[in-house]
Homo-oligomer: A and B are copies of this chain.
Amino acid sequence: MSAPGSFKRVALIGFGLIGGSIARAARLQGLADEIVTTARSEKTRARVRELGVVDRVVESNVEAVRDADLVILCIPVGACGAVAAEIGPHLKPGAIVSDVGSVKGAVVREMAPHIPAGVHFVPAHPVAGTEHSGPDSGFAELFINRWCILTPPEGVAAEATEKLRAFWAGLGAKVEIMTPDHHDLVLAITSHLPHLIAYTIVGTADELAQVTESEVIKFSAGGFRDFTRIAASDPTMWRDVFLTNKEAVLEMLGTFTEDLSKLTRAIRRGDGEALFDHFTRTRAIRRGIVEIGQDSAAPDFGRPHEALKKS
């Protein structure tokens, strides 16, 4: 129990991609003496027992948080308020309660009223994920070199924030602190709007009359397939994101729509110079992301290529 960021008992409520990755990484890094977990469905709980990556799987949220020093809600944003209300009276004094939601303003509003005095509420959002979900989808390396954003409300004990920061650092993440409102604006452009656009375009392709769905799938390597990965993300999680970060998303969407109109006009008028200038500017942003290690420099994300067989 000496490692910084380690806890006696960690409770994970929910065991999807994020919960499952926290469990695996925390165990590997020795960040918890005991990991207790629960999940809403008996099917998931049974699968987590089989996987053997946590110490105990229990039947209820109340049972999970009993005597836990760190409680993390790893569930869709829309479910956080109800679960906070349920576990609130059973939290251990001095415990830290956190979450992993992609929206922070709504989570703070919904959860905070249910957290009793003497319990430290430090919301968190690890900016990491894949298009997969469910108890088998997690892996210990998910958070390495990814950012985890903490949004502690005013008045939260600095030690609690510091302990949670050390925990996430132990999982491999880099930690940043900001207000819930600023978080929701930043994520609206870096995550929520891209998802909305990907969901839209994949839906558009699905309903065209002149081009068949099998053609869309066959010739997807021309660019479309990149969007389908994002549009394959968990529907429940993303429904909740758009419902709870509505204002910031609609604001970014307004700017996006204006920009799309500008490019559309350039195409309609045959203004090659405007197009070329725009495309040159965006190319530079990719370089910035690769340089700071937030994406692979390998062409095509490093997608595997088979070798040529001699014909």
Q: What is the CA–CA distance of A252 and B209 in the complex, to the nearest angstrom?
A: 11
User: In the complex, are the beta carbons of B255 and A208 less than 8 A apart?
Assistant: yes
Q: Is the CB of A197 within 8 A of B197?
A: yes
- Decide if A228 touches B282 in the complex (CB within 8 Å): yes
A210 contacts chain B at the CB level, 8 A cutoff: yes
Instruction: Give the distance to chain B from A199, nearest Cβ to Cβ, in Å.
Output: 5
A13 to chain B, nearest CB (A): 21
Which of A33-41, A53-61, A81-89, A238-246 lies at the binding interface?
A238-246
| Cα distance, A281 to B169, chains bound together (Å) | 37
A163–chain B nearest beta-carbon distance, Å: 14
- B286:A232 contact, CB within 8 angstroms: yes
**How would you classify the secondary structure of chain A's contact residues: helix, strand, loop or mixed?**
helix
Determine if B223 and A283 form an interchain contact, defined as CB atoms under 8 angstroms apart.
no
- Whether A194 and B224, one on each chain, are in contact in the complex, defined by CB atoms closer than 8 angstroms, is yes
User: From residue A225, how far is it (CB to closest CB) to chain B in Å?
Assistant: 5
By a CB distance below 8 angstroms, the chain B residues around A145 are: 306
A positions within 8 Å CB-CB of B: 3-4, 25, 28-30, 78, 102, 127-132, 137, 139-142, 144-147, 149, 169-172, 176, 185-187, 189-208, 210-211, 213, 215-233, 235-236, 238-240, 242-243, 246, 249-250, 252-253, 255-257, 259-260, 263-264, 267-268, 270, 272, 275-276, 278-283, 285-289, 292, 294-296, 298-308, 310-311
